[in-house]
Chain A
Amino acid sequence: MSELPLPFSIHSIEDWQAQLQSELLEKSHLLKYVNDIEELEFSITDLDGPQIPLNFNSPTNWKNLLKVSANEEKKTNQLLLDALMQGAEAVIIEHASRQTDWKILLNDIQTAYIDCMIIFNDDDSMQHFKNNASEDAQKHCKVLYQYGEEQNYFSSFKINQVGANCATELGSLILHIHRVLELQSSSESHIHGYTFFLELGLGAEYLVEIAKFTAIRKLIEQLSIIHQMKIEIKLIATTGFCNKSLHDPYTNLLRQTTESMSGVIGATDYLCVQPYDALSTNGTSEFAQRMALNIGNLLQFEAKLDQTKTLLFGSYVIGKLTQELIEKSWEMLCDLDEENTDSIEQLKSRIVHTRSIRLAKFEDKKLLLTGINCFENEFEIPPNSWGNLPTEIGLPFLIFEKTMQDA
């Protein structure tokens, strides 16, 4: 648009800033982006400043991913078959163990034609897979190690779900990767060619979440320079539960769509939309499962976001947020690496801090969630309630609606 030969003089940035000040008067504090949960603050009008380039020239070509547990093989197999018929292009199987019946679990799953990933947490379960899975499954499934020096799968999803801010989530993720890279550099075998699968949680703050995905690529690039290793990363964006409502289920569809868009625009490789009621006492419903998959389908086939290019080109705020997140998470990495103290405890204290700010904002209604603490849906009877929540580093997942349910 700026290339149009229009007969108008170009105004200086100072003129524009003065115009903004005169329009906003006593509200001129709005010209500063302030986010106390993320601990970020910068001017939104300093457009001429240097920025991290956001040069994603390739289309945002992601795969819709379904995450399942290896428990209850027959049920999971049916779930996988249904999902693959309904548009899922990739699956990730977690909780693999020595008891997993791989023949039942992967029955009729054409692993040669889909992206099938299996997460292993120990040698025994890995060995069990090698001994019991079909030849085809062994040949085509991607093996993700979440342990040891061969680790190639890292997840900060749970850290995200207990209330960490983006910088802490990124910091903890790169600290973990840095430590594994130290181990791998001392090892003689280089088995995985350093393709790392990184799972990040998708939060509600649209712009910050996009920046989180752009920041992680730059951070890994820096780690690969330091460790002198070529690292390729595959990002997995997973929606969470913090802001979801069982009382007003339709609002979740809107939330999951905007959250998914932030992952897609941040150029994730896999998008995993989890059914919003997965942690409820009754378990997930068919409605929630279908909607979860259809969000990804809709963004691909109807919105055609998978065919768009350079979505972030020229975005000042995303560039600035990316830069701030990179700096903060790198500083955290260096602090935790240098201090030789218990990094888990340090991490926990950071998360407890942001978690308490989130809770206070929610209680004071400075954080408004439609259908939960404002504009409640009085016409629906809650069909379900939140069940026992998973924990991470001693903290349960933070779900605002559950905090109201428990109060």
Chain B
Amino acid sequence: MPKLSLKAHRNINWEAQAVAIQAPKYRSGMPPYLSGPYASMYLAKPWTIRQYAGFSTAEASNAFYRKNLAAGQKGLSVAFDLVKQVLLSTLLKI
């Protein structure tokens, strides 16, 4: 079986096959902020994952927050009076 040695092809200049890519004109953290308001954006600090909560009693809401934090939630969006906000207070006559 004839063996085709790859010795001659070891140092392929892949860079030569590459092309210069034009970087975007406007960058993150620079006016007009088309790529976001901060240069680093989510690099060091990712977005937080939240569930808006506060529909229930203080105890039930507290249990809900604890469960979500244990499951990986990174922030709390606490609404103290959601019952009133969604007009449930009128319907329930609280």
Q: Inside 8 A of A16's CB, which chain B residues have their CB?
A: 27-30, 39
Q: Is the CB of B2 within 8 A of A11?
A: no
A19 and B28 CA atoms in complex are apart in Å by: 10
What residue of chain B has the Cβ atom nearest to residue A377's Cβ? B71
Choose among A50, A185, A338 the residue with the greatest number of B CB atoms under 10 Å from its CB: A50
- The segment from B8-16, B53-61, B75-83 that touches chain A is B8-16
B63 contacts the other chain (Cβ, under 8 Å)?
A: no
Q: Is the CB of A326 within 8 A of B23?
A: no
B74 to chain A, nearest CB (A): 11
Given A10-B25, A53-B18, A331-B10, 17 more A-B residue pairs with CB atoms under 8 Å apart are: A1-B24, A8-B31, A9-B31, A11-B27, A16-B39, A23-B39, A48-B21, A50-B19, A51-B20, A52-B14, A53-B21, A182-B2, A185-B4, A186-B1, A222-B12, A323-B14, A338-B5
Query: Pick the contact of A314 from B21, B38, B40, B44 — CB < 8 Å?
Result: B21
A102 and B43 CA atoms in complex are apart in Å by: 55
Give 5 closest A-B pairs by Cβ, nearest first: A47-B23, A50-B18, A2-B25, A19-B39, A375-B72
Q: Inside 8 A of A31's CB, which chain B residues have their CB?
A: 43
Q: Inside 8 A of A23's CB, which chain B residues have their CB?
A: 29, 38-40, 44
A292 contacts the other chain (Cβ, under 8 Å)?
A: no
Query: Pick the contact of A48 from B2, B12, B20 — CB < 8 Å?
Result: B20
Q: Inside 8 A of B9's CB, which chain A residues have their CB?
A: 222, 226, 334
Query: Pick the contact of B4 from A9, A27, A222, A227 — CB < 8 Å?
Result: A227
Q: Give 5 A-B contacts (CB < 8 Å), ordered by A residue.
A: A8-B26, A19-B30, A334-B10, A374-B72, A375-B70
A227 and B9 CA atoms in complex are apart in Å by: 11
Q: Is the CB of A185 within 8 A of B44?
A: no
Q: Inside 8 A of A375's CB, which chain B residues have their CB?
A: 70-72
The dominant DSSP class at the A interface is: helix
B69 to chain A, nearest CB (A): 10
Q: Inside 8 A of A53's CB, which chain B residues have their CB?
A: 18-19, 21
Q: Is the CB of A15 within 8 A of B14?
A: no
B3 contacts the other chain (Cβ, under 8 Å)?
A: yes
Q: Inside 8 A of A218's CB, which chain B residues have their CB?
A: 17
A24 contacts the other chain (Cβ, under 8 Å)?
A: yes
Query: Pick the contact of A327 from B14, B19, B32 — CB < 8 Å?
Result: B14
Q: Is the CB of A2 within 8 A of B26?
A: yes
Q: Inside 8 A of A30's CB, which chain B residues have their CB?
A: 40, 43-44
A183 contacts the other chain (Cβ, under 8 Å)?
A: yes
Q: Is the CB of A50 within 8 A of B15?
A: yes
A388 to chain B, nearest CB (A): 32
Q: Inside 8 A of A47's CB, which chain B residues have their CB?
A: 21, 23-24
A32 to chain B, nearest CB (A): 11
A20 and B27 CA atoms in complex are apart in Å by: 11
B6 contacts the other chain (Cβ, under 8 Å)?
A: yes
A326 and B10 CA atoms in complex are apart in Å by: 12
What residue of chain B has the Cβ atom nearest to residue A326's Cβ? B14
Q: Is the CB of B72 within 8 A of A370?
A: yes
Q: Inside 8 A of B93's CB, which chain A residues have their CB?
A: none
Choose among A23, A222, A326, A374 the residue with the greatest number of B CB atoms under 10 Å from its CB: A23
A331 and B72 CA atoms in complex are apart in Å by: 41
A316 and B22 CA atoms in complex are apart in Å by: 10
A208 and B25 CA atoms in complex are apart in Å by: 26
Residues of A189-242 at the interface with B, using a CB-CB cut-off of 8 Å, are 218, 222, 226-227
Q: Inside 8 A of A270's CB, which chain B residues have their CB?
A: none
B34 contacts the other chain (Cβ, under 8 Å)?
A: yes
Knowing A10-B25, A51-B18, say if A337 contacts B40 (CB, 8 Å). no
A30 and B6 CA atoms in complex are apart in Å by: 37
